[in-house]
Amino acid sequence: MQIRYPFPNGQSTDIVMPLPSLPPAAGHGPVAPHEVALVTLTYGDRAELLAQCLEGVRREGMRRALVLANGLAPEPMERTRAVLEAAREAGMEIDLIESAVNLGSAAGYGRLVEMAQGDPRLRAIWFLDDDNVPRPGALARLLEAAATDPGAAVCAVRTDRTYLIRAAETGRAIPPAPGEAFGVDVLKRPRRLWLKLTRTAPNPVPTAVAVPRVPYGGLLVPSETYGRVAPPRADFVIYGDDYDYSGRLAAAAGLYLVGAARIDDLEASWNATGAAAAGPRTQTGKLAAMPADFRLYYAVRNTLFLDRGRVGFWTWPLFAVNLLLLASLVGGRALAAGRRDTARVLLRAMRDGVFGRMGRIEAFPLP
């Protein structure tokens, strides 16, 4: 079955939807793996990665996947269709949206959430990147945790995200500080010292740790919650939309990190930091070394838009100081390396983020 699906830019595409083959969800009691659908985006030429992701969730007992092919060229699209057909032959039901243009993660995941809302059989959706592979038992542990707090969203630990690993090990997640700007905070060391002196990790560490926000990869949301929380905001385009969406889930129903549920990334994230990161190991160092393209612009703009939203009357001066420090650390380093375009895009992204100029920008097209 094919349905014509219009997009805001006036284009449309076909949604390929197989006829239903699964029984209706009971709607009561613990959620079973076959009542959970994978939601994922794929882009570029990543069919082999997608195949491993699909096989990983199939081993977890899932039988349903909602996939958006985000602006794929003809040959990668054919390879992706072949991967999906192989998954169907292995017993999975696949719903596919083919977009002629790259919608970005925000609009793309928004379409998939809307598709899930229209299917009464689903009792939960599990967000994974197309290169995420769950470790054995990850879904079962998430569903066990979800059963203790119906309606709450739960998330697995991405093994390339040190802050998630640390939160799971210590039993506490430190939220972004009011007044910080893209992680830059002149009061970071005093804050850490204060937390060290005044807070102790829970003993024993809970199975599920309350967290303020998480990335898409590993996030499991029950149907009653994604049915009443607005989907990801399309005006974020790409980057930061996962933190905005998961933050709204946390405010509406609760959000918990399940340390025993682990997910591996087949490819390292471009913005990974720390010992395992390629190139500069700090966020400011990575920004200064980046080309002046969509990644730099949307990452900085959207993050600062979220940071600005946490600023109160008394923290505006601190936010201003941190913005100046961010501009000097990144812009100054970029200029010293001869990257004038990088410094210019950084300053534009900072200005647009602070003043809330969101949406897709023609000067920074997605690939």
Q: What is the pLDDT of residue 63?
A: 97
pLDDT band at residue 349 using 50, 70 and 90 as cut-offs = very high
Q: Mean pLDDT, the chain, as a whole number?
A: 90
Check residues 12 and 326 and name the one with the higher pLDDT: 326
CA 347 to chain CA centroid, Å, is 25
Q: What is the pLDDT of residue 205?
A: 87
Cβ proximity of 146 and 152 under 8 Å: yes
pLDDT band at residue 21 using 50, 70 and 90 as cut-offs = very low
Average pLDDT over residues 173-196: 90
Average pLDDT over residues 344-363: 97
Q: What pLDDT, in 10s, does the model give residues 134-155?
A: 999 999 999 999 999 999 999 9
Average pLDDT over residues 16-43: 71
The verdict on pTM exceeding 0.85 is: yes
Residue 264 exposed, middle or buried by CB count within 10 Å (0-12, 13-18, 19+): middle
Q: What is the pLDDT of residue 193?
A: 84
Cβ proximity of 134 and 263 under 8 Å: yes
Average pLDDT over residues 195-210: 82
User: Taking 90 as the threshold, does the pLDDT of residue 245 lie above it?
Assistant: yes
User: Taking 60 as the threshold, does the pLDDT of residue 215 lie above it?
Assistant: yes
Strand partners, 106: none
User: Beta 208-210 vs 124-127: how paired, if at all?
Assistant: unpaired
Nearest CA among 114, 175, 194, 160 for reference residue 307: 175
User: Taking 60 as the threshold, does the pLDDT of residue 180 lie above it?
Assistant: yes
4-11 long-range Cβ contacts below 8 angstroms, 24+ apart: 5/97, 5/111, 7/99, 7/101, 7/103, 7/107, 8/107, 8/234, 9/101, 11/100, 11/101
Q: What pLDDT, in 10s, does the model give residues 226-240?
A: 999 999 999 999 999
Nearest CA among 206, 196, 102, 202 for reference residue 149: 206
User: Taking 60 as the threshold, does the pLDDT of residue 275 lie above it?
Assistant: no
Q: What pLDDT, in 10s, does the model give residues 62-96?
A: 999 999 999 999 999 999 999 999 999 999 999 99
Q: What is the pLDDT of residue 269?
A: 74
Q: What is the pLDDT of residue 27?
A: 58
Residue type, 4: R
User: Taking 70 as the threshold, does the pLDDT of residue 129 lie above it?
Assistant: yes
Q: What is the pLDDT of residue 16?
A: 37
| Least confident among 28-32, 210-214, 254-258, 288-292 | 28-32
Q: What pLDDT, in 10s, does the model give residues 278-313?
A: 556 678 888 999 999 999 999 999 999 999 999 999
Nearest CA among 6, 4, 33, 2 for reference residue 18: 2
